[in-house]
Structure 1
Amino acid sequence: MRAILCGIAALAVTLPAIIVRNAPPPPASPRAALAGKVRLPQRIAAPDRIPDVEPVAFQSLDPAEARAWNAGVPFVSGATPAARPFRFAGDAAQLARATDCLGAALIYEAGDDPVGQRAVAQVVLNRVRHPAFPKTVCGVVFQGAERRTGCQFTFTCDGAMTRPPSLPAWERARRIAAQALNGAVAREVGYATHYHTDWVVPYWSASLDKIAEVHTHLFFRWTGWWGTPGAFRRRVSPDEPVISELAALSPAHRIGAVVAEAEAAVAEGAALTPTVDPAVGAMLAGLPHALTDDRDTFMVTIDPLAPNTFPRLALRACAARPRCKLMGWSDPRLVPTSSTLSPQQYAAMGFSYLRDQESGIERALWNCHQFPRLRAAQCMRGRATLSATPAPAPSPTTRGPEGLSGVRKAPAPVATPAGTITQP
């Protein structure tokens, strides 16, 4: 009996040891199992060196692997303070361009989801304030868009913009963009400057601090000093660039494209035009006033030495009006005080701008007898004098002998004081 008890006791001691020694190894965590497939660059930028902004490139993981990897990345410990409110300081035309650039980022990056859109808007505005990125909203959104693998927001270089959003969704995105530009803050993403969906793993993600998750998007900030509030104090610029890719969606960028085209045309023919004194642009210092009988119409005096500034003047005067008309005269004595024009005023008009968003119309035209242009499409109807190729001198008319019988000249028309044309 004693021997049996001793055997049981010995077995109780040795059996667990045998089981432990021969047990299979515990399964590796998903993150450990993927360690061989993921490159892990680790760096903290020194406070005296602005961090590099890397192109978008991804680890070679399928969506399931990416989700497993991202789930194993811990959120940073410590405080994640909310960003300071951002308030755009430009004029109405600049604000319109910034709003539409930001709105495009929201609708294409976050879809028609207001929570995700507010988070994306915060990242864009954080970048505008950070010295590692461009200092305008449009510059941040379209950074690297000219390179298929260099864009920071993929919709700007992957063809997504060929599929326009519905008008209601676009207007909702624009409203959220306008709110963000007027001080609204997405507190949950703090000072994040990067984000990605949870089914991909960008190369840069291992170098940044993971601070928030909004739906399927993960948000990150720079490590070290460059992710602290003190790094986000760069003075931003209100001089928002024109983005031609947004012309189909944004009237603000459509008229901006007209201005850019006009200036490019003038640059091509600069040798054919006199040098302009920079002081002549002073007329742009103040905005013209709309007519009392038509608040969407402007009648203005234009500077004949600065024809390239006319579209800018129209853009600033019309601002965000869906319908607007501006007409300009070089002679201030001919500027009408109402929307009714005499034939003399109509003939002397030097520039006109028309916008009608409902009809899809937006155009700027010059009186090319007064201001020759390189393209006939920029000329008012019947006034297409081009500056690129001077018109040849007219050939002499062959005339018959004086007093030739059978020929009767029609008398020239005479203008009456009322401006009508009569035949004597």
Structure 2
Amino acid sequence: MRSFVLAACVAVTLASPGAAIAETALGRLFQRDQSTQTSTSRQRSGGFLFFGRKPAKTKQMSYSTTWLDAQPAAAGDANFECLAQALYFEARGEAVKGQFAVAEVILNRVKSAQFPNSVCGVVKQGTGRLNQCQFSYNCDGRTEVIGERQAYARVAKVARAVLDGVQEELTDGATYYHTTAVRPRWSRVFTNTAQIGVHLFYRDERYRTASSE
């Protein structure tokens, strides 16, 4: 609409004295208007690259509780809630960087053809089959209760940041992890990509995600 009004102004001005000067000035204004519209359109379309809202520019992002505590309370859809709960039960005792790494594994699984294509699908895969699910808290036979509200608030912020694409890549496309206290059989076959805190991360070379290519 704004471009239409500017075009109309150009037409009226050209019928008056000093038309050449007015034409030049209004022409420049019209070009700036078109440029702004194009830039805005590109910014909006760019947001579709992320799982959630487009991330803000965060120069001071760090893997620390200080940074997390400075972020606004996190909220989101069902996938956000599934990711936040998985981080709470799987990694709330881990350092912040380790929590980000576990969240990254879950999103890597979403991108892999080997796993379901949604966060909730990945987190809940195998639920109901005793000791056969992907995340043990979903099939250990116990009712899970979120009792540490501060810990949950923090991992929820981790979930929000990861879904918004804020963090850097940490695990080189890993889709598996385990703690240093155990050594599952698959760890002898898959590629070890990182160790962060008490977690070791692995990639199955048969199903490399986009981030590891």
TM class, shorter-chain normalised? 0.5 to 0.7
Question: What number of residue pairs does the alignment pair up?
Answer: 144
Deviation, 1:210, is 0.4
Structure (1/2) with the larger strand percentage: 1
| Residue of structure 1 equivalent to 2:161 | 179
Matched, 1:190 2:172: yes
Aligned-pair CA distance for 1:194: 0.2
1:101 — aligned with what?
82
Inter-partner Cα distance in structure 2 for 1:193 and 1:105: 15
* Cα distance change of structure 1 residues 164 and 230 upon mapping to structure 2, 3 Å threshold: closer
Q: CA deviation at 1:130?
A: 0.6
Higher Rg of the two aligned structures: 1
Taking structure 1 as reference, are residues 171 and 89 closer, same or farther at Cα in structure 2, changes over 3 Å only? Answer: closer
Tell me how large the CA RMSD over aligned residues is.
Answer: 2.5
- Offset of residue 166 of structure 1: 1.4
Residue number among 200, 203, 210 corresponding to 1:221 in the alignment? 203
| Rounded Cα–Cα distance in structure 1 between residues aligned with 2:91 and 2:164 | 20
- Between Structure 1 and Structure 2, which shows a larger proportion of helix residues? 2
Alignment of 1:203 onto 2:185: yes
Contact 1:88 1:95 in 2 (8 A): no
| 1:223/1:104 CA distance change after superposition, 3 Å | same
Measured after TM superposition, the shift of residue 231 of structure 1 is: 8.1
Asked if the contact 2:131–2:140 (Cα under 8 Å) also holds between the matched residues in 1, the reply is: no
Equivalent position SS for 1:144: coil
Q: How does 1:7-406 map to 2 (within 5 A)?
A: 87-88=50-51, 95-112=76-93, 113-159=95-141, 161-224=143-206, 226-227=207-208, 229=210
TM-score, normalised to structure 1, is 0.32
Please tell me the residue identity of whatever aligns with 2:172.
Answer: G
Does the residue aligned with 1:162 lie in a helix, a strand or coil? Answer: coil
2:173–2:211 CA contact under 8 A, matched in 1: no
Which residue of the partner structure matches residue 366 of structure 1? none
Give TM-score scaled by structure 2 length. 0.61
- Using CA pairs under 8 Å that are at least 6 residues apart, name the structure with larger relative contact order, 1 or 2: 2
Aligned to 2:5: none
Q: Distance in 1 between matches of 2:211 and 2:101?
A: 21
What is the alpha-carbon distance in structure 2 between the residues aligned to residue 161 and residue 182 of structure 1? 30
Unaligned runs of 5+ in 1: 1-84, 233-424
101 and 161 in structure 1: CA distance in 2 versus 1, 3 angstrom threshold: farther
Q: Distance in 2 between matches of 1:201 and 1:86?
A: 36
Distance 2:210 2:166 in 1: 17
Give the share of equivalent positions with the same residue, in percent: 37
1:339-388 Cα shifts (integer Å, max 9, x gaps): xxxxxxxxxxxxxxxxxxxxxxxxxxxxxxxxxxxxxxxxxxxxxxxxxx
Letter aligned with residue 51 of structure 2: F
Please give the alpha-carbon distance, in whole angstroms, between the structure 1 residues aligned to 2:211 and 2:169. Answer: 17
